[in-house]
Amino acid sequence: MPHRLLILEPTGQRSTRTEAQGRELYARMQRFGEDLQARGKLQALASQSQGVRVRTGGGGKPQVLDGPFAEAREMVGGFFLLRCESMAEAMAMHAGPAAGLLLMAALQKDKSLCQYHWLPSVRGDLLARLGRDAEARAEFERAARLAGNAREKAFLQERARLLASFSENPPG
């Protein structure tokens, strides 16, 4: 499922930074895009009918806001179209795995999703990225129990097994 990640900046910000600062910000955006491309998470332009905004910065927690709309005092400085399995994964790419877990907490309250195996699978991936291996392993095991076909079940069981073996024999 495609998700668009917009790069927004306050109007007038460009006039307050030096040319070198501007080049560094642009280089950071390019490195981010190259990393997404290398991980197979960058997708060609496609239409999107819904969306949310995640506002980060200011030292606070990421905020999930309605709609994919920029505020009038912001300027679109570019965008990436991401290839993600879920909005939580897209949030995690932008604001880190903890932000993705925030969205997952809201989804877990939805009773219609309680038997959907991808929910604990995505949660397991986010927990693993945070280094919370025991919790991640439990989520992958739960996802495997919910999986409807043998291939998915085997894949999820392997993810859980790898986390178990990694935590028993950490590198270094």
Query: What's the mean pLDDT when you consider all of the chain?
Result: 75
Query: Over pLDDT 70: what percentage of the chain?
Result: 65
Pick from 2-6, 106-110, 154-158, 167-171: least confident: 167-171
Task: Please tell me the predicted confidence (pLDDT) of residue 64.
Answer: 61
pLDDT(11) > 80: no
For 1-96, CATH gives 3.30.70.1060
Average pLDDT over residues 42-65: 55
pLDDT digits (tens, 9 = 90+) for 61-95: 666 655 555 555 555 555 666 777 777 777 777 77
Task: Please tell me the predicted confidence (pLDDT) of residue 143.
Answer: 93
pTM for the model stands at: 0.53
Split at pLDDT 50, 70, 90, the class of 46 is: very low
**SS3 track for the chain:** CEEEEEEEEECCHHHHCCHHHHHHHHHHHHHHHHHHHHCCCECCCCCCCCCEEEECCCCCCCEEEECCCCCCCEEEEEEEEEECCCHHHHHHHHHCHHHHHHHHHHHHCCHHHCCCCHHHHHHHHHHHHCCCHHHHHHHHHHHHHHCCCHHHHHHHHHHHHHHHHHHHCCCC
Average pLDDT over residues 20-43: 80
Average pLDDT over residues 31-53: 64
pLDDT digits (tens, 9 = 90+) for 116-161: 888 888 889 889 989 999 999 999 999 999 998 999 999 999 999 9
